[in-house]
């Protein structure tokens, strides 16, 4: 970690080799969240660092390449607990569990989080300069199956799958034995079935 002063403000700089999945850094006054990290060393040349990042203001995903030894500004992110209330056409609506204040976040910032959020779910928001920029979901969520075609006798031998719908309206492939009313776990990173709840 390197401390740099810029206009009498201390700025923490970190080496790009310290970047990992989930790290937030700032480049050209924009906060980026590291989604994937790859350290590449080719022969005798210097190593390069490739990262896939999400621009936390616009939600766009892009790839960046750095030379080993480069530094970036460390992002100061505040984490705040929130309770999901409901979603509408453009926004996700939350409540602060301490002050009971209600607020909305654009679905573009949510990054598809609404498909894993049931009413009353508690999550953490990442706040940058007073603005929510990212919704932290748990790795797995448990949701109730609301639609699923019945499995036919003998189908389980093949280990196939069928499409099901959970209480949030999200559609995914599940094993044939899953039926309406079952609670299942879903991996929020891949969106795939992760087991029974």
Question: pLDDT per residue over 125-163, tens digit each?
Answer: 888 778 887 888 889 999 999 999 987 665 555 668 899
* 2-74 shares its CATH topology with 140-196: no
Task: Say if residues 81 and 124 touch (Cβ distance below 8 Å).
Answer: yes
pLDDT category of residue 165 using cuts at 50, 70 and 90: very high
Q: Where in the chain are the domains? A: 2-74, 78-136, 140-196
3-state DSSP call for residue 108? helix
Exposed / middle / buried, residue 107 (Cβ in 10 Å: 0-12, 13-18, 19+): middle
Overall average pLDDT of the 121-126 stretch: 90
The pTM of the full predicted model, rounded to 2 decimals, is: 0.71
CATH class of the region 2-74: mainly beta
| 67's tokens | 């030379």
Whether residue 110 contacts residue 103, with contact meaning beta carbons closer than 8 Å, is answered with: no
What percent of the chain has a predicted confidence (pLDDT) above 70? 90
Task: Assign residue 159 a region (left: φ > 0; alpha: ψ between -120 and 50; beta: otherwise).
Answer: left
| Three-state secondary structure call for residue 180 | coil
The answer to whether 31 and 133 have CB atoms below 8 angstroms apart is yes
Contacts of 159 (CB under 8 A, 6+ apart): 175
Kindly report the number of other CB atoms within 10 A of residue 185's CB atom: 15
- Check if the beta carbon of residue 106 is closer than 8 Å to that of residue 85: no
E strand or H helix that includes residue 107: helix 107-110
Helix/strand number for the chain, H first, E second = 1, 17
Domain 140-196 classified CATH 3.40.50.970? Answer: no
| Helix (H) / strand (E) containing 109 | helix 107-110
Query: And the tokens for 163?
Result: 């499409």
Burial (CB count <10 Å: 0-12, 13-18, 19+), residue 106: exposed
**Could you tell me if 148 and 102 are in contact, meaning their C-beta atoms sit under 8 angstroms apart?**
no
Q: What is the mean pLDDT of the chain?
A: 85
Sign of CA dihedral 16, 17, 20, 23: negative
Q: 65-74, 127-136, 170-179: which range is least confident on average?
A: 127-136
Tell me which CATH code domain 78-136 carries. 2.40.50.140
């Amino acid at each position: 970690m390197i401390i740099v002063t810029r206009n009498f403000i201390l700025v923490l700089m970190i080496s790009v080799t310290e970047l990992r999945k989930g790290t937030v850094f700032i480049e050209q006054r924009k906060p980026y969240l590291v989604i994937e990290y790859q350290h590449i060393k080719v022969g005798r040349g210097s190593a390069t660092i490739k990262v896939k990042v999400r621009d936390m203001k616009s939600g766009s995903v892009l790839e960046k390449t750095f030379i080993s030894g480069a530094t970036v500004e460390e992002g100061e992110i505040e984490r705040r607990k929130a309770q999901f209330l409901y979603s509408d056409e453009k926004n996700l609506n939350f409540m602060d569990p301490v002050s009971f204040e209600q607020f909305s976040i654009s679905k573009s910032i949510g990054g598809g989080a609404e498909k894993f959020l049931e009413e009353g779910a508690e999550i953490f928001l990442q706040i940058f300069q007073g603005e929510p920029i990212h919704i932290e979901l748990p790795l797995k969520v448990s949701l109730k199956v609301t639609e699923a075609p019945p499995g036919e006798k003998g189908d389980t031998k093949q280990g196939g799958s069928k499409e099901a719908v959970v209480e949030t309206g999200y559609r995914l492939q599940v094993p044939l034995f899953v039926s309406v009313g079952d609670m299942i776990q879903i991996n929020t990173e891949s969106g795939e079935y992760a087991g029974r709840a």
